[in-house]
Amino acid sequence: MQVVKNPGTDIYANFIYAMRRSGATLQQIADRLNRTKERVRQILVKNYGSTRHELLSTEQLRKRLGLSRPRVMELCRDKIITPAREWNTKGTYRFLWSPDAVEQVNNYFSTNVLCKRCHRPLPSGRRVFCSVECYNEGHKYKYKSALGKKRHLESVKRYRQKGRVLVQAAATGR
Ligand SMILES: [Zn+2]
């Protein structure tokens, strides 16, 4: 993984946070980014409220859940999950989540959300349709041309791959 070059952006802060979460010390992060340990600490505190690393950023939570960011915030507004920390930097609200939030959302989906097609409860990990059968029948995918289907499947694959690559890269520091 290439080190992000423009300090001050969220991506830069996210990179630091991801390294921290994967167990890197402040000094290791500092060495890798060519910054001082104190600067790394400041960035973590400014963007995440703390240098501790067991909490999830909204982006990390979103990826673990396979949901969009607005959907995560909606679950928060509906009180399905509550942030472990929240604060405001320059007009932007920032949140950190306990790893328990993943299970809370999964439980919520499996007990409160019904399959869009057959209206049966969703099994764990499913978000809209209960099964591949319902997905194939209920999704607009059904009406796509052969080429449209191929493109759709490729884009789904790319989307899933992207999430995995980012997580792995952060974990190995590569
Ligand atoms: Zn179904």
pLDDT per residue, tens digit, the chain (174 aa), is 455 555 556 778 888 888 887 778 888 899 999 999 999 999 888 887 777 767 888 888 998 888 888 889 999 999 999 998 887 777 778 888 988 899 899 888 888 888 988 888 888 778 888 888 888 888 777 778 888 888 888 887 887 776 565 555 555 544
CB 60 within 8 A of CB 54: no
CA-based end-to-end distance of the chain:
4
The answer to the question of residue 63 being in a domain is yes
Cβ neighbours of residue 105 closer than 8 Å, sequence gap 6 or more: 65, 67, 75, 80, 81
Report pLDDT for 117: 87
Q: How far is the CA of 108 from the centre of ligand 1 (A)?
A: 17
CB 129 within 8 A of CB 138: yes
The answer to the question of residue 99 being in a domain is yes
Expressed as residue numbers, the domain containing 106 is: 55-111
The answer to the question of residue 130 being in a domain is no
Cβ neighbours of residue 103 closer than 8 Å, sequence gap 6 or more: none
CB 37 within 8 A of CB 7: no
Q: How far is the CA of 170 from the centre of ligand 1 (A)?
A: 36
Q: How far is the CA of 129 from the centre of ligand 1 (A)?
A: 5
The answer to the question of residue 124 being in a domain is no
Q: Report residue 158 as tokens.
A: 């790319």
Q: How far is the CA of 138 from the centre of ligand 1 (A)?
A: 8
The answer to the question of residue 106 being in a domain is yes
Report pLDDT for 19: 84
* Rounded Cα gap, residues 102 and 106, in angstroms: 6
Q: How far is the CA of 25 from the centre of ligand 1 (A)?
A: 46
pTM, two decimal places: 0.53
Q: Report residue 104 as tokens.
A: 């809370």
The answer to the question of residue 88 being in a domain is yes
Q: How far is the CA of 130 from the centre of ligand 1 (A)?
A: 4
The answer to the question of residue 65 being in a domain is yes
CATH number of the domain residue 80 falls in: 1.10.1660.10
* Rounded Cα gap, residues 91 and 101, in angstroms: 25
Look at the chain and report how many structural domains it folds into.
1
The answer to the question of residue 22 being in a domain is no
Beta bridge partners of 133: none
